[in-house]
Structure 1
Amino acid sequence: MSKTASYLRFFPYDQPYDHQQEAMGTIYDALADGSDILFEGATGTGKTLASLAPALEYARETNKTVVITTNVHQQMRQFRRDASAINDQESIRAIVFRGKASMCHIDVGFEECQALRDTTRDLVDTEQDLADLERQQRDLLDESQAGDGGAAEARGAVMDELDGVQDDLAEFEDKATCDHYYQNLTADTDDFFAWLYDDVRTPDDIYERAGQYGFCGYELLKEGVEGVDLVVCNYHHLLDPMIRQQFFRWLGRDPEDVIAIFDEAHNVEDAARDHARRTLTENTLESALDELTESDDARADPAYNVLGTFLEALREAYDDAFAFGEREQVGENWHDLAVANDDRRDDLTLAFLQRYTGPGFSEELDHAVELGRDLDSEYEEEYKSGDATVRKECQTLQAATFVQSWLDEGDEMGTYPVVSVRRDDDGAGDVYGRAELYTCIPEQVTRDLFSELHASVLMSATLRPFEVTEDVLGLDSPETMAYGAQFPEERRRTYAVDGPALFASKRDDRGIQETITDTIEDAVRFTPGNTLVFFPSYSEAERYYERVYAGTSYLDEPGTAANDLRKQFAADDDGVLFTSLWGTLGEGVSFDGDDARTVIVVGVPYPHLDDRMEAVQAAYDEVFEVGDEEGTGQTVQTEDAGWHYAVEIPTVRKTRQAMGRVVRSPEDFGARILLDARYTERAEIEMEQYAVRGAFPTEERAEMVDVQPEKLKFGLLNFYQDVDAYDGDPPTP
């Protein structure tokens, strides 16, 4: 095997597709150059193995570790299967890593676990000291009995030390420890690790096996993960800066020794925002004030003053922000209230500054943070010593560090201050508030990550336009490659239905509803199997679930078990599933073969344009540039940069993801229907301002067949007859 093709030893199947082989070569060369890669590949292009094989080869050659990460549980299971297949051909040490909360046998939180772990380790160290001293005194006793006078004197000193260690050990009787972690430290774990690396184990397998041994599987993973070839994990292990630092330490790797592969990478933008957000609730502030009241430290009074003022300002801010009757409508979910201003600081900050009296809030906040750190250390020691049965969290520290960030960073570009409210007691109690610093620009989170890593591969079926991904995530001159659908074109068909343009203001129009209903019913009747229907919202999905009388209907609702619903739907043969494109079934969920034959996207599913989205658009308008000045190739700022980056492109990506739910193998076949005039060629001329067809990649636009609503059934009939899909006589138009 040639040097350039040596990565094929990590390809677990007979022969890669031609495009896979090309992609592997490109990725290997980019990794050798330390370059990031943006890799778009349609469903079935084999992106995962095309990325893993060269990454594992390069990592093996250069003593690095590959981390493949996703935010989709089904993909984690698939990665484990791929890694197991690779291991069957070429031995690798691979770990599937999951968060502590789902791996803990005694169900304690992070802070409590940390304290238990430290105390347990101290206990084991003390027991080891005792064993060492007992061995010394026995040896010295033998020597003294053999006539060595110096040994008797030395043994006396050891016995004194032994008495002290025995006293130390007795103190652990009242201290909280973890039996599972104790077993990790004292029992033989060789058999467990031999089993662990004999295959690629699931987190559930590890949890069960560790329980059988009485071990803590999570801590064993942390201790055994150093130097592995491959780790499968969730996004938060890389996107959360604090977790990432610990994670790399467990790996025994510096960031530059890590190659990261991001699956479903079009989701990194939103995931980075979620990991960057910081919040502080009214309840935490109240707990902090109670904590300070109980403290006799001189710093407690200034800390109480500044945090108490912020609490009063928070209440004033949300009281003033309520519109008439809005307070009464607040339920158990967080409800945003606008406090940001274009020409001055936000209303919460202004209320704080108006209310504050004292020597200076910066000085008092410094005292609050210092006191919080000291109190947190005290709580740690109390728990370790057994004086407390639970490990308390310092509310003062949480509150003070947040307020400090709010006042220092709240008016920075790309940071959006938000006040939200909800009701306690499951929506039946009083309203209380929350302050939040929302990060609009993911680059502020991701740029440092990508610059620290050796290289990364970001792969998805919907990464284009590459320049948008590059800008939003802060990537510097990445390699780019895109592979369209690789399956036979004659086994798929994409229709752009020139029906009503489903603007939000038109959705209640009776005539429009009748046209949409008739078109969906035609699609369901002429589909030889199941039909997936995606809408801009769950409410629209429910509307047509109640209107459509064709096939066996299934309704996906927020808060329900979507995977169970998917299984019921897939087991049917004339089902029609109504769901939101922004729900969990729109991407990362397979509907292979007979699971679904036709997918319909109804409308252009723009997200709800709330204040946060407007803040994101405004921030993108500030920092991003789109457009070409008179064909010169020079990119210029336009008014629509925020809309293009924050709304249009993510919406089209979501639509493309939904279209990819069908036709997922070379033998598969199916139809994709875009039900809205804005997807048609006509819209590009007559509705240029609203047309979205141009936002799709060129090869996908070329496959779109424009059709009138009443003609769709004939198109479906012809297509499904061509692929011999009907079992018996086809339906009659």
Structure 2
Amino acid sequence: QIRAKARMCANQEVVCHEDFCLHARDYGAKLAQRGVLPALLSGPPHLDPDRTFAVAHAAEVCPFEVSLELAREASAVVCDYNYVFDPAIALFGLADEGALEDTLLVVDEAHNLVDRAREYFSPRLARSAVRQARRIVEGHRQKVCRDLDELLGSLDELIEREASGALGAREGSRRIELDPRPLAEVRLALDALVAPYFTFKRNAEIWLARDPVVDVLLSLARVTDLLQDGGRELVPLAERSGGGEPDERLRVYCLDAARFTGATIARSAGCVAMSATLEPFEFYRDLLGFDPDRTDTVSLPSPFPPENRLIVAVDEVDTTFRARARWYGRIAELVAELAPPGRNGLVLFPSYAFLQEVASRLFVPDHTVEVQRGDDSDRLRREILARLRGGGKPVLLL
């Protein structure tokens, strides 16, 4: 099971450099000498992220990198969509031809992949990000810093020129004709400065959890690649936002990511896409890029008897985003009233903020209230599930 790097990091900040991170220093040697992989592979067949973290942390090697090493040995890997479908961060070169030919993909909640994939192929290049990158190098006398500052300055001017030409003084977004060649020239020049820049950072002992210069380079690469692709589903936009921090951006907006997700699916040995909301099948089949001639569908009935289902609509409260704050107290009262006596209950919310507001007002003396948090570990989730299965005081899970 692959957990996000930020949640697997053994430090307060994710700075992956051996001069900053003890767990990155001499990683390969320590991994072999301290028997980390054999210790984990000889244990339970499910390579749990919490156990991986504990063993790797004790051996002073990077827990996230260890989880990637283990994934190469695993028969099944559980991970986020982006490790397979986002070419910028796909695992083990999974974006390469032939990498998935022996792999069966199982995509859970597949309806969510439609919007996620569009976002993968809708990169932005923002002036605010470019200015932040310039602040890293400005004031330094080294040639690489002067060269970077000049290139980033020209990129800043290019974004401003395109946005002003399309929008004038207005806010919003507008479709533009964007020539990829000037961006490609800046990208090529920036690429040539990457190695000298990392040498400068090391000598200056600049350690950053996220490097704004690298972020700009990656965004520029993704925007340029998609502009050069030239697909009809890829729309170049100029954007300007106002408010407290006005910004201007160039963006490639992906209207339909089916060509890209479909290419990944076609390279795999097979793909099973599941969801409770995948109908009409033809609609999602086409949006996800499945080949109509090679795709079968099946709809299964709910395993729960319909006569056991009770639907209660409460129209005295307003849960819309703008109005819900006025109703937190009453919603908490309704949750308490509807909590099943002597049995476990589950209360679902559209956001963690909404959940926390109601939870802080909730009083249910006959239940143990468990509140899910966005950063809950797998171990905490298992503990909650164990309490739900136990025979003690009933649990109300929010």
Report the TM-score when normalising by structure 2. Answer: 0.70
Match of 2:315 in 1: 516
Q: Deviations over 1:230-280 (max 9, x none)?
A: 111112111211322536499xx8211111111111211111122222012
Query: Structure 1 stretches of 5 or more lacking a match?
Result: 1-95, 117-175, 323-336, 350-360, 498-514, 521-533, 575-589, 597-660, 662-733
Match of 1:539 in 2: 322
Q: Report the 3-state secondary structure (helix = DSSP H, G, I; strand = E; otherwise coil) of the residue aligned with 1:98.
A: coil
- Separation in 2 of the partners of 1:421 and 1:374? 32
Cα distance, 1:484 vs structure 2: 0.9
Which of 235, 239, 243 is the aligned partner of 2:85?
239
Percent sequence identity is 20
- Separation in 2 of the partners of 1:232 and 1:371? 39
Q: Deviations over 1:479-503 (max 9, x none)?
A: 21111122333222568x8xxxxxx
Q: Does 1:212 align with 2:61?
A: no
Is the 8 Å Cα contact of residues 269 and 442 (structure 1) preserved in structure 2? Answer: yes
Is the 8 Å Cα contact of residues 376 and 397 (structure 1) preserved in structure 2? Answer: no
For the structure 1 residues 248 and 406, does the alpha-carbon distance in structure 2 shift closer, same or farther, using more than 3 Å as the test? closer
Which of 99, 115, 118 is the aligned partner of 1:273?
118
- Separation in 1 of the partners of 2:352 and 2:68? 33
Letter of the 2:55 counterpart: R
Query: Structure 2 stretches of 5 or more lacking a match?
Result: 337-346, 368-384
Q: How does 1:421-440 map to 2 (within 5 A)?
A: 421=241, 423=243, 427=244, 430-440=245-255
Q: Does 1:483 align with 2:300?
A: yes
Which of 163, 167, 173 is the aligned partner of 1:338?
173
Is the 8 Å Cα contact of residues 37 and 66 (structure 2) preserved in structure 1? Answer: no
Cα distance, 1:397 vs structure 2: 3.5
For the structure 1 residues 216 and 282, does the alpha-carbon distance in structure 2 shift closer, same or farther, using more than 3 Å as the test? same
Q: Does 1:100 align with 2:19?
A: no
Q: How does 1:334-733 map to 2 (within 5 A)?
A: 337-340=172-175, 345=176, 364-383=182-201, 386=203, 388-390=205-207, 393-394=213-214, 397-398=217-218, 400-401=220-221, 404=224, 412-415=232-235, 417=237, 419-421=239-241, 423=243, 427=244, 430-477=245-292, 478-493=295-310, 516-517=315-316, 537-542=320-325, 551=334, 558=351, 560=353, 562=355
- Separation in 1 of the partners of 2:72 and 2:329? 55
Cα distance, 1:191 vs structure 2: 5.5
Q: Deviations over 1:144-203 (max 9, x none)?
A: xxxxxxxxxxxxxxxxxxxxxxxxxxxxxxxx2643232552353336533454122432
Q: Does 1:260 align with 2:120?
A: no
Q: Deviations over 1:567-603 (max 9, x none)?
A: 99696779xxxxxxxxxxxxxxx9x89878xxxxxxx
Q: How does 1:100-249 map to 2 (within 5 A)?
A: 100-109=5-14, 113=16, 116=18, 176=19, 178-181=21-24, 182=26, 184-186=28-30, 188-190=33-35, 193-199=38-44, 200-246=46-92, 248=94
Is the 8 Å Cα contact of residues 333 and 362 (structure 2) preserved in structure 1? Answer: no
- Separation in 2 of the partners of 1:229 and 1:549? 45
Letter of the 2:29 counterpart: L
Is the 8 Å Cα contact of residues 300 and 368 (structure 1) preserved in structure 2? Answer: no
For the structure 1 residues 394 and 233, does the alpha-carbon distance in structure 2 shift closer, same or farther, using more than 3 Å as the test? closer
Q: Report the 3-state secondary structure (helix = DSSP H, G, I; strand = E; otherwise coil) of the residue aligned with 1:226.
A: helix
- Separation in 2 of the partners of 1:225 and 1:555? 33
Is the 8 Å Cα contact of residues 235 and 254 (structure 2) preserved in structure 1? Answer: yes
What is the CA RMSD across the aligned residues, in angstroms? Answer: 4.6
Q: Does 1:321 align with 2:179?
A: no
Q: Deviations over 1:457-494 (max 9, x none)?
A: 11112212111111111101312111112233322256
For the structure 1 residues 179 and 569, does the alpha-carbon distance in structure 2 shift closer, same or farther, using more than 3 Å as the test? same
For the structure 1 residues 459 and 476, does the alpha-carbon distance in structure 2 shift closer, same or farther, using more than 3 Å as the test? same
Is the 8 Å Cα contact of residues 266 and 462 (structure 1) preserved in structure 2? Answer: yes
Cα distance, 1:305 vs structure 2: 4.5
- Separation in 2 of the partners of 1:278 and 1:321? 22
- Separation in 2 of the partners of 1:476 and 1:446? 11
Letter of the 2:266 counterpart: S
Q: Which stretch has the larger CA shift, 456-465 or 99-108?
A: 99-108
Is the 8 Å Cα contact of residues 299 and 368 (structure 1) preserved in structure 2? Answer: no
Is the 8 Å Cα contact of residues 148 and 193 (structure 2) preserved in structure 1? Answer: no
- Separation in 2 of the partners of 1:555 and 1:484? 23
For the structure 1 residues 452 and 217, does the alpha-carbon distance in structure 2 shift closer, same or farther, using more than 3 Å as the test? same
Higher helix share: 1
Is the 8 Å Cα contact of residues 238 and 244 (structure 1) preserved in structure 2? Answer: yes
Cα distance, 1:450 vs structure 2: 0.6
Is the 8 Å Cα contact of residues 223 and 252 (structure 2) preserved in structure 1? Answer: no
Cα distance, 1:338 vs structure 2: 3.3
- Separation in 2 of the partners of 1:476 and 1:227? 30
For the structure 1 residues 178 and 288, does the alpha-carbon distance in structure 2 shift closer, same or farther, using more than 3 Å as the test? closer
- Separation in 1 of the partners of 2:361 and 2:148? 61
- Separation in 2 of the partners of 1:177 and 1:234? 28
Letter of the 1:185 counterpart: A
Cα distance, 1:226 vs structure 2: 1.9
Match of 2:375 in 1: none
- Separation in 1 of the partners of 2:51 and 2:224? 44
Q: Report the 3-state secondary structure (helix = DSSP H, G, I; strand = E; otherwise coil) of the residue aligned with 1:271.
A: helix
For the structure 1 residues 273 and 557, does the alpha-carbon distance in structure 2 shift closer, same or farther, using more than 3 Å as the test? closer
Cα distance, 1:406 vs structure 2: 7.9
Letter of the 2:77 counterpart: V
Q: How many residues align?
A: 354
Between Structure 1 and Structure 2, whose CA radius of gyration is higher? 1
- Separation in 2 of the partners of 1:307 and 1:422? 18
- Separation in 1 of the partners of 2:78 and 2:239? 36
- Separation in 2 of the partners of 1:275 and 1:104? 24
- Separation in 2 of the partners of 1:104 and 1:388? 21
Cα distance, 1:376 vs structure 2: 1.2
- Separation in 2 of the partners of 1:400 and 1:550? 51
For the structure 1 residues 233 and 247, does the alpha-carbon distance in structure 2 shift closer, same or farther, using more than 3 Å as the test? farther
For the structure 1 residues 494 and 283, does the alpha-carbon distance in structure 2 shift closer, same or farther, using more than 3 Å as the test? closer
Letter of the 1:413 counterpart: E
- Separation in 1 of the partners of 2:189 and 2:261? 32
